[in-house]
Amino acid sequence: GQQVMQIPQYQHVQEGEDFTTYCNSSTTLSNIQWYKQRPGGHPVFLIQLVKSGEVKKQKRLTFQFGEAKKNSSLHITATQTTDVGTYFCAYRGSTLGRLYFGRGTQLTVWP
């Protein structure tokens, strides 16, 4: 099936620095979802993007869906220690019920 490549796999930043994770696909995606998993926790839905070129913001988080609907990014402005965790992108595939997850980007924030 389709696969999304999520980069980077790990990112270490100093508190206050910005952070971006990218999700890239070789084929057009119908939508993209982003999830966050805190250390020791479970994935929690953040947002879904559906439209070409869509941009959504949640406080310091900015989510983008590429014009060609083949890539997406999550950008965090001025990271805080509460942003620590693994960020996953996921997309709905053609198989009923199948949500394909990227490998995730593990973010560490140094105080």
**Shortest spacing between CB 45 and another protein, in angstroms:** 5
Give the C-alpha separation, 10 to 22, whole Å: 12
42 is a contact residue toward another protein (CB under 8 A): yes
List the one residue from 11, 19, 43, 66 that touches another protein (CB under 8 A): 43
Listed in sequence order, the DSSP H helices in the chain are: none
Binding letters toward another protein, positions 81-100, x by CB under 8 A: -------x---xx-xxxxx-
Report the residue count for the chain. Answer: 111
3-state per-residue secondary structure call for 30-59? CCEEEEEECCCCCCEEEEEECCCCCEEEEC
**Shortest spacing between CB 58 and another protein, in angstroms:** 15
- Binding site residues, another protein, CB under 8 A: 31, 33, 41-45, 48, 88, 92-93, 95-99, 101-104
